[in-house]
């Protein structure tokens, strides 16, 4: 490859030019999903760029979620994400939703324990002065692919031992007779913040869906306040509408 062909007609810093060139190769299918990028040294030779520049370009692609680095075996083009259609008419758990699609749920734990509640938690969960709150904060994955970040808060008498939740929160609630039967959900558009984007494996500023769910027990009491961020590139939320009579 002629270095001019890589860089000749482009502007901007050289690592950005190289990054764009690699992005183009991916878009055109020259570098298909799951294929490996040539080693840094080789790219440097072909392009006549320094290895520092090549490394910087690849690091940018990693940050953008286009490329992933696998320990010991180099950089690979990430396979595009599969979109999931999620019904808004049923009160189901993430584990149930993924299971129905034949996908396995895993969670990366970011926080799980008993905390002093925020004013919002006190108000929404109807806590009394001095009450603590159970919090579970997880990155939810489907077949290993990050899908959503979920921050759930529950009154302690509904979830006395947050540590009991090793897989499904709703399963634990079900076992103690505290499975919510109704929920109100609010969905808003967001641009993912850098930390959240990194956890979800997408580029900073990517579109996301922020979802707040407040769920209720049969008694009418609030069981759960969950604030989630779903990947905008992975989810379609679908609701069925009927003519009101």
Chain residues that interact with ligand 16G, rule: CB under 6 A: 93-95, 150, 152, 168-171, 211, 213, 224, 226, 228
Residue 166, C-beta contacts closer than 8 angstroms, at least 6 positions apart? none
Query: How near is the Cβ of 2 to ligand 16G at its closest, in Å?
Result: 51
Rank residues 40 and 164 by Cβ distance to ligand 16G and give the closer one. Answer: 164
Query: How near is the Cβ of 92 to ligand 16G at its closest, in Å?
Result: 7
Query: How near is the Cβ of 142 to ligand 16G at its closest, in Å?
Result: 11
State which H helix or E strand residue 151 sits in.
strand 145-155
Residue 149, C-beta contacts closer than 8 angstroms, at least 6 positions apart? 110, 137, 138, 139, 140, 196, 199, 200, 228, 229
Rank residues 70 and 90 by Cβ distance to ligand 16G and give the closer one. Answer: 90
Query: How near is the Cβ of 47 to ligand 16G at its closest, in Å?
Result: 45
Rank residues 47 and 162 by Cβ distance to ligand 16G and give the closer one. Answer: 162
In terms of Cβ atoms closer than 10 Å to its own Cβ (0-12, 13-18, 19+), residue 27 is exposed
Rank residues 78 and 112 by Cβ distance to ligand 16G and give the closer one. Answer: 112
Q: Which residue has the tokens 């919002």?
A: 120
């Amino acid at each position: 490859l002629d270095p001019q062909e890589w860089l000749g007609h482009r502007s901007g810093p050289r690592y950005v030019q190289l990054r764009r060139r690699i992005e183009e190769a991916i878009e055109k299918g020259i570098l298909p999903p799951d294929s490996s990028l040539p080693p840094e040294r080789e790219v440097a030779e072909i392009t006549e760029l320094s290895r520092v520049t090549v490394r910087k370009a690849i690091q940018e692609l990693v940050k953008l979620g286009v490329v992933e680095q696998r320990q010991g075996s180099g950089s690979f083009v990430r396979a595009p994400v599969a979109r999931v259609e999620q019904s808004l008419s049923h009160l189901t758990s993430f584990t149930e939703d993924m299971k129905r699609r034949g996908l396995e749920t895993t969670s990366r734990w970011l926080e799980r324990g008993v905390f002093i509640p925020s004013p919002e938690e006190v108000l929404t969960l109807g806590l009394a002065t001095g009450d603590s709150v159970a919090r579970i904060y997880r990155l939810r994955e489907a077949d290993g692919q990050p899908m959503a970040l979920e921050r759930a808060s529950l009154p302690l008498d509904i979830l006395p031992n947050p540590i009991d939740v090793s897989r499904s929160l709703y399963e634990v609630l079900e076992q103690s007779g505290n499975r919510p039967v109704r929920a109100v959900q609010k969905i808003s558009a967001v641009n993912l913040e850098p930390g959240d984007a990194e956890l979800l494996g997408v580029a900073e500023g990517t579109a996301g869906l922020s979802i707040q769910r407040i769920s209720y027990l049969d008694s009418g009491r609030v069981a759960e306040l969950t604030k989630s961020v779903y990947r905008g590139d992975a989810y379609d939320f679908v609701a069925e509408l009927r003519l009101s009579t």
